[in-house]
């Protein structure tokens, strides 16, 4: 919660929403409205995400949910930014009125006391921590520029364990520049966060960990691209994306070691050059939507990403049989190469088949089964509104990736709400950033990653209840030389209750239980409980008081490690 308190946008209502979302519990992007005069769009799906999952409606494909032809984006001129890479840029709607800039600086102070700084069973060490949190939130909506930027560094000053004093960086930002209207665009985005290398904490809870076991991840991307529309026949886009990602242990550490003395993570870094071209059918094709795509990504990095590449060509289709039911298909070919032990190579076909059920603009289920990354797998995305008060989200997917690549993927599979929180473009659900999730450990290997999540949230006036379940499994495929890789997995469930006590004060409670298997802790389980009180003292000034209990046991701990944390904070926005 410490970083979320810094995102006060306009009062206690926003604070309550952000606190819930930070715990992985707020499942509706609509909880925080999109930027005025902009639309969060997905356009062409990311690699491995076919047409059936690009949006909640068929507009972007030139096909209405009823299956009949519809003008592109209802407005004649194409809604630029809705096409191709970057797949989810914020783009101004046609003829939108420029709304200018909003710049909101802030300054936060938190006082934290804990009876067990390192969350150990023996040698418990109490500490008092002062956290200084300057922040800058920028939203812009003009004819030439749209986007959100939210940056909050955090200085931690330890009264007892002075070696743990340091600075963490938290960032989310996306900006779309219109260089030449209707033709040339520049997309810039970045993100940063901190997670525990050894895992064993609640997926989205606050961690009080040894700094030398914390990993700071930073990822940035810049992408110039051109878009050209050919009437109602097709739209073509081509461009280049430069990505850079670094994952570094804090306090000068270069690698993380398991309790048995094995290295399972070393600092990672890569620069990627991606060239892409896409062509997508227009409304002249009626019920049928087609997309052809060629993408080549070359990696210059460390470990398994040393001289690696991903290249593929594919054609995807969607045909609306009825307004509620569409069939999906994809065929193509891919070439993959990763370094490591053993080296990993793929030269294979791509295919998938599936269907999409559309109940309303905000309710749909998409499912497909296919072959990609050298193996067969399924993917499911669902977002369903029930009775106006209840929202349900679910996702299941498998992919071949690394920890550093997951940070880069976040930039191309999410958009941001107006407070800078990432939102999944396929379902509209708030996204738990992989580089701030401390549930499982971080490894340097190439892994086959399986993720599954589901959440259901219900609102009753002054109360919001959210139940969430998260599962993740990683199977090593190729290991960085000098490290070992092990299978790891975890399943976690949480329940959050937010209650508005007064128009200016809210209470938020949270309980979580999870089981895990990680190289840093072996097998174990963790209980976490938290209760927080958030109040607006006066316009622009908010106060928080929070208690957190963590109880963890694992193979390398004799008994259970119990940690109590009390946090009191103030944040002033200017």
Paired strand residues for 188 = 175, 222
pLDDT tens by residue, 453-476: 999 999 998 999 999 999 999 999
Domain boundaries, the chain: 2-419+428-573
pLDDT bracket for residue 320 (50, 70, 90): very high
Give the CB-side neighbour count of residue 208, counting CA atoms within 13 A: 34
**What is the spatial distance between Cα 69 and Cα 356, in angstroms, rounded to a whole number?**
18
**What is the spatial distance between Cα 280 and Cα 182, in angstroms, rounded to a whole number?**
16
Higher pLDDT, 89 or 507: 507
Distance of CA 247 to the CA centre of its chain: 16
Burial class of residue 558, CB neighbours in 10 A (0-12, 13-18, 19+): exposed
Question: According to the 3-state scheme, what is the secondary structure of 536-558?
Answer: EEECCEEEEEEEEEEEEEECCCC
Burial class of residue 162, CB neighbours in 10 A (0-12, 13-18, 19+): exposed
- Taken in order 244, 247, 250, 254, is the CA torsion positive or negative? negative
Which strand (E) or helix (H) includes residue 110? strand 100-114
Distance of CA 185 to the CA centre of its chain: 24
Residue 6 above 70 pLDDT?
no
pLDDT tens by residue, 188-212: 999 999 998 888 888 876 666 788 8
Higher pLDDT, 90 or 417: 417
Evaluate whether 368 touches 409 at the Cβ level (below 8 Å): no
Paired tokens of 528: 């976490």
pLDDT mean over 509-520? 93
Evaluate whether 438 touches 201 at the Cβ level (below 8 Å): yes
pLDDT exceeding 90 applies to what percent of the chain?
65
pLDDT bracket for residue 75 (50, 70, 90): very low
**What is the spatial distance between Cα 249 and Cα 255, in angstroms, rounded to a whole number?**
7
Most confident of 51-60, 79-88, 434-443: 434-443
DSSP β-ladder status, 541-554 and 414-416: unpaired
Evaluate whether 347 touches 374 at the Cβ level (below 8 Å): no
pLDDT mean over 524-538? 94
pLDDT tens by residue, 107-130: 999 999 999 998 888 889 999 999
pLDDT mean over 63-67? 28
pLDDT mean over 494-512? 93
Evaluate whether 467 touches 498 at the Cβ level (below 8 Å): no
Count of residues making up the chain = 574
Q: What is the pTM of this model?
A: 0.82
How high is the pLDDT of residue 322? 94
Paired tokens of 70: 């519809």
- For 2-419+428-573, CATH number? 2.40.170
pLDDT tens by residue, 250-309: 877 788 888 888 899 999 999 999 999 999 999 999 999 999 999 999 999 999 999 999
How high is the pLDDT of residue 512? 95
DSSP class per residue in 498-513 = EEEEETTEEEEEEEEE
**What is the spatial distance between Cα 169 and Cα 154, in angstroms, rounded to a whole number?**
6
How high is the pLDDT of residue 211? 84
pLDDT tens by residue, 351-404: 999 999 999 888 999 999 999 999 999 999 999 998 889 999 999 999 999 999
pLDDT tens by residue, 332-353: 999 999 999 999 999 999 999 9
How high is the pLDDT of residue 61? 28
């Amino acid at each position: 919660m410490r970083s979320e308190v810094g995102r006060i946008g306009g009062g206690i209502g926003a604070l309550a929403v952000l606190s819930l979302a930070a715990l992985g519990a707020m499942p509706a992007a609509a909880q925080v409205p999109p930027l005025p005069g902009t639309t969060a769009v997905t356009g062409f799906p990311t690699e491995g995400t076919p047409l059936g999952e690009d949006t909640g409606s068929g507009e972007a494909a030139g096909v209405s949910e009823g299956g009949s032809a519809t003008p592109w984006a209802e407005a004649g001129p194409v809604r630029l930014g809705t096409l191709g890479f970057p797949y989810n840029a914020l783009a101004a709607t046609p003829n939108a009125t420029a709304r200018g800039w909003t710049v909101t600086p802030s300054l936060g102070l938190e006082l934290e006391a804990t009876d067990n700084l390192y969350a150990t069973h023996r040698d418990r060490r109490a500490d008092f921590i002062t956290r200084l949190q300057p922040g800058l939130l920028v939203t812009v909506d003009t004819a030439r520029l749209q986007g959100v930027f939210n940056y909050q560094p955090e200085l931690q000053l330890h009264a007892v364990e002075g070696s743990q004093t340091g600075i963490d960086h938290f960032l989310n930002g996306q900006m779309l520049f219109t260089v030449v209207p209707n033709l040339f665009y520049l997309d810039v985005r970045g993100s940063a966060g901190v997670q525990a290398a050894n895992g064993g904490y609640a997926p989205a809870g606050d961690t009080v960990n040894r700094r030398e076991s914390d990993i700071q991840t930073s990822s940035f991307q810049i992408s110039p691209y051109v878009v050209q529309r050919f009437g109602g026949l097709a739209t073509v886009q081509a461009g280049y994306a430069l990505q850079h990602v670094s994952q570094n242990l804090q306090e000068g550490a270069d690698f993380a070691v398991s309790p048995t003395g094995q290295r399972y993570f070393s600092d990672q870094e890569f620069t990627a050059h991606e060239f892409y071209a896409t062509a997508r059918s227009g409304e002249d094709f009626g019920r049928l939507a087609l997309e052809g795509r060629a993408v080549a990504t070359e990696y210059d990095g460390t470990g398994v990403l040393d001289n690696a590449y991903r290249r593929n060509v594919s054609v995807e289709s969607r045909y609306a049989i009825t307004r509620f039911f569409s069939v999906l298909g994809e065929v193509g070919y891919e070439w993959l190469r990763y370094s490591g032990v053993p080296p990993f190579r793929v030269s294979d076909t791509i295919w998938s088949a599936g269907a999409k059920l559309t109940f309303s603009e905000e309710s749909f289920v998409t499912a497909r089964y296919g072959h990609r990354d050298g193996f067969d797998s399924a993917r499911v995305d669902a977002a369903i509104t029930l009775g106006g008060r209840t929202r349900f989200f679910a996702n299941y997917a498998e992919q071949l990736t690394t920890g550093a690549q997951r940070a880069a993927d976040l930039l191309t599979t999410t958009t941001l709400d107006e407070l800078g929180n990432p939102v999944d473009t396929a379902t509209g659900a708030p996204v738990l950033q992989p580089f701030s999730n401390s549930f499982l450990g971080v490894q340097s290997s190439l892994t086959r990653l399986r993720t599954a999540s589901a959440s259901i949230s219900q609102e009753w006036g002054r109360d919001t209840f959210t139940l969430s379940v998260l599962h993740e499994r990683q199977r090593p495929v190729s290991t960085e030389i000098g490290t070992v890789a092990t299978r790891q997995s975890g399943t976690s469930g949480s329940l959050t209750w937010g209650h508005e006590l007064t128009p200016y004060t809210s209470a938020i409670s949270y309980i979580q239980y999870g089981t895990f298997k990680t190289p840093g802790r072996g097998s174990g389980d963790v209980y976490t409980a938290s209760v927080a009180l958030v109040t607006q003292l006066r316009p622009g000034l908010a106060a928080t008081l929070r208690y957190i209990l963590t109880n963890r046991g694992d193979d390398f701990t004799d008994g259970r490690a119990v940690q109590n944390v009390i946090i009191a904070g103030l944040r002033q926005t200017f």
